[in-house]
A and B are shown apart, each in its own frame.
Chain A
Amino acid sequence: MPDVDLRVNLAGVTLKNPVVVASGTFGFGREYGQFYDLGELGGICAKGLTLHRREGNPAPRIAETPMGILNSVGLQNPGVDAFIAEELPFLRQFDTKVIANISGNTPEEYGVMCEKLDGAGVDLIEVNISCPNVKAGGLAYGTRPELAAEVTQVAKAHAGKTPVMVKLSPNVTDVTEIAKAVADAGADALSLINTIRGMRIDVNTGRPILKMNTGGLSGPAVLPVAVRMVWEVACAVPGLPILGMGGVSKGEDAAQLMLAGASAVAVGTALFADPFAPLTVRDGLAALAARQGLARVAELTGGVKPW
């Protein structure tokens, strides 16, 4: 089979292949860097950052569900300054793109973090307006178009030349409304989907498994929702690059998201079963593109032929 060109463009950033690891599933790369060269990855979305250190939610923070998991980590992280000082230099050693993921309590906090990260030099900033596991900010920004637009504007105004990608929540009635608002506010790209709110109860005790009662669902169970939302958003805001994610664990899953309109994909939950999952997805995607006779994997993007 001929070699397929795996390079893709995401908001002006060239990724060596379309497979990125999803924020919150890969720490700051050090752990999985013990399994393989991080330079094999198209990009790394680092663990979600806040302006100040956060300890996150009490345990249990994870529950297994049919073909999925629920998590309620709650943005545990060392804060943006510690990331820049201690983690970014490590990530910068590898031939891969570094995507910082940020969450703020106020639009101003998003601005401050963007300024710091642009100064420190990351390849992309992913603005999280959709974390289901924090009380302030988080999901609230992601479910109201005017707030999502405000956060996007502030982030753009402070991010300098660093492209801003806004991560959308699936926990809304119409994801295209938020996507349009964020696009109009100047977002350079969109990423979706974040986790879907869910709950699991221990029938013997009557207690929810998660200490926070509810959490975010991820894993293969959410793939069809992700494909549908990526497709809807791609139709609603044509031309705006999309990083698709949600339940990707093999090449075919990634291809579905790309056909639906994604320029690149992120792998997350699949890592927990298989640390090598992102590489398996990359190779599977390359094989699939080769079988279809494509010269470039990017040709898949938006190729769906709806009935």
Chain B
Amino acid sequence: MKVERKCKIVSKERLNHDAVYMVLEAGDMVRTSCKGPGQFVHIKCGDSLLLRRPISVCSCQEDEPEDLVAIAFEVRGEGTQWLADRAVGGTLDVMGLLGNGFSIKPEGRYLLVGGGIGIPPMRGCAQYTEGRSTAILGGRSADKIILRDLFERECAKVLIATDDGSLGHHGFVDALVRQELEQDRAYDAVLACGPKPMLRNVAKVAAEFSVPCQVSMEERMGCGVGACLVCACDMKDGSRKHVCKDGPVFDSREVDWDA
């Protein structure tokens, strides 16, 4: 059975001007619906907004008395602003865990690539692979490189790129992906989350080095469970899959990057 429940906000933290990190008490949500890192929760943001907001899971764990789900999101509009304004101790109406995560093995070694608010979903992959993976984090400027300390603790290596050069490599993450794969191709896969142009470029570099690549896609969503079919993602074979149910993670070779 799918879960929709009231979740208590147990902690809240501002990561930068726009991004908020929250930990939720989620009953048995993780036990009943966790399929691995990369899933999302669908959160009701007040009574006046009809659509829930899909938010990626940053990390989650089975726990007592209740499972814990950590999320991080950026305030982009009315819904996420409402969410950011909730106080610790308050409750949220949450559906989850939804979608399919990254297809990864705990003993694997992965090149994790996160751009901007695409950084948090990669954290679950870092934890899952227990220090073997490498993370490449990118953003417009230094303040957009969120959760850096967690990745430094949970990855073998962390590389950073900023568009304005205020931290790490001056440029985009795909340049660092190329640099890393030139030195070391022994990754089981490249796993990426971020804006679509970034994902396209990362997928291209991974393909050049013949390293498998999985990407977590974003699209405006309705029901979140695969019934309303609005969150279409164009596939290479001409079909349209759905981010909420078939994704959000897809094999980069399946995606039509020219759509």
Cα-based distance from A60 to B226 in the complex (angstroms): 15
Q: Which of B65-73, B82-90, B167-175, B227-235 has 4 or more CB atoms under 8 Å from chain A?
A: B227-235
CB distance A62 to B222 under 8 Å? yes
User: Shortest CB–CB separation between residue B52 and chain A, in angstroms?
Assistant: 6
Q: Which of A250-302 contact B (CB under 8 A)?
A: 269, 271-276
CB distance B230 to A71 under 8 Å? yes
Q: Which of A26-34, A150-158, A178-186, A187-195 has 4 or more CB atoms under 8 Å from chain B?
A: A26-34
Q: Does A7 touch B at the CB level, under 8 Å?
A: no
Q: Does B179 touch A at the CB level, under 8 Å?
A: no
B239 contacts which of A32, A47, A55, A269 (Cβ < 8 Å)? A55
Q: Does A196 touch B at the CB level, under 8 Å?
A: no
Cα-based distance from A76 to B245 in the complex (angstroms): 15
B44: nearest chain-A partner, CB-CB: A273
Main secondary structure of the interface of A (DSSP, over half): loop
CB distance A67 to B223 under 8 Å? no
B240 contacts which of A26, A32, A55, A64 (Cβ < 8 Å)? A55
B50 contacts which of A26, A47, A55, A67 (Cβ < 8 Å)? A67
CB distance B52 to A273 under 8 Å? yes
CB distance A31 to B226 under 8 Å? yes
Number of interface residues of B (CB under 8 A): 31
A272 contacts which of B2, B52, B245 (Cβ < 8 Å)? B52
Q: Does A14 touch B at the CB level, under 8 Å?
A: no
CB distance A25 to B259 under 8 Å? no
Q: Does A69 touch B at the CB level, under 8 Å?
A: yes
Q: Does A12 touch B at the CB level, under 8 Å?
A: no
A45-61 vs B, Cβ < 8 Å mask (1 yes, 0 no): 00100000001111111
User: Shortest CB–CB separation between residue A250 and chain B, in angstroms?
Assistant: 12
B225 contacts which of A31, A62, A73 (Cβ < 8 Å)? A31
Q: Which of B208-247 contact A (CB under 8 A)?
A: 219-234, 238-240, 245
**Given known contacts A27-B226, A31-B227, A272-B228, A61 and B51 CB-to-CB distance under 8 angstroms:** no
Q: Does A68 touch B at the CB level, under 8 Å?
A: yes
Number of interface residues of A (CB under 8 A): 36
**Given known contacts A34-B1, A35-B1, A71-B222, A76 and B50 CB-to-CB distance under 8 angstroms:** no
Contacts of B219 in A (CB 8 A): 59-60
Cα-based distance from A285 to B238 in the complex (angstroms): 44
B240: nearest chain-A partner, CB-CB: A55
CB distance A32 to B1 under 8 Å? no
CB distance A27 to B50 under 8 Å? no
**Given known contacts A73-B229, A269-B50, A275-B4, A60 and B220 CB-to-CB distance under 8 angstroms:** yes
Q: Does A24 touch B at the CB level, under 8 Å?
A: yes
CB distance A69 to B51 under 8 Å? yes
Contacts of A209 in B (CB 8 A): 220
Cα-based distance from A61 to B244 in the complex (angstroms): 13
Q: Does A219 touch B at the CB level, under 8 Å?
A: yes
Main secondary structure of the interface of B (DSSP, over half): loop
B31-61 vs A, Cβ < 8 Å mask (1 yes, 0 no): 0000000000000100011111000000000
Cα-based distance from A62 to B231 in the complex (angstroms): 8
A208-252 vs B, Cβ < 8 Å mask (1 yes, 0 no): 010000000001100000000000000000000000000000000
Cα-based distance from A209 to B238 in the complex (angstroms): 23
Q: Does B95 touch A at the CB level, under 8 Å?
A: yes
A69 contacts which of B50, B229, B233, B245 (Cβ < 8 Å)? B50
Q: Does A63 touch B at the CB level, under 8 Å?
A: yes
Cα-based distance from A272 to B49 in the complex (angstroms): 11
Contacts of A73 in B (CB 8 A): 228-230, 232
CB distance A58 to B259 under 8 Å? yes
User: Shortest CB–CB separation between residue B256 and chain A, in angstroms?
Assistant: 10
Cα-based distance from A274 to B225 in the complex (angstroms): 12
CB distance A271 to B230 under 8 Å? no
Cα-based distance from A55 to B233 in the complex (angstroms): 10
CB distance A273 to B220 under 8 Å? no
Cα-based distance from A157 to B259 in the complex (angstroms): 42
CB distance B229 to A64 under 8 Å? no
Cα-based distance from A84 to B44 in the complex (angstroms): 35
User: Shortest CB–CB separation between residue A150 and chain B, in angstroms?
Assistant: 29
Q: Which of B1-50 contact A (CB under 8 A)?
A: 1-2, 4, 44, 48-50
B227 contacts which of A25, A57, A60, A68 (Cβ < 8 Å)? A25
User: Shortest CB–CB separation between residue B79 and chain A, in angstroms?
Assistant: 8
CB distance B49 to A76 under 8 Å? no
User: Shortest CB–CB separation between residue B18 and chain A, in angstroms?
Assistant: 16
CB distance A56 to B232 under 8 Å? yes
A220: nearest chain-B partner, CB-CB: B50
User: Shortest CB–CB separation between residue B240 and chain A, in angstroms?
Assistant: 5
Contacts of B51 in A (CB 8 A): 62, 64, 69, 272-273
Contacts of A272 in B (CB 8 A): 50-52, 222-224, 228
Cα-based distance from A271 to B226 in the complex (angstroms): 12
Sample of 7 more A-B contacts, CB < 8 Å, known A30-B226, A59-B231, A273-B44: A31-B223, A35-B2, A59-B234, A60-B219, A62-B231, A67-B48, A220-B50
Ordered by A's residue number, 10 sampled pairs between the chains whose C-beta atoms are within 8 Å are A32-B227, A35-B1, A60-B220, A62-B222, A64-B50, A67-B50, A68-B50, A271-B228, A275-B225, A276-B4
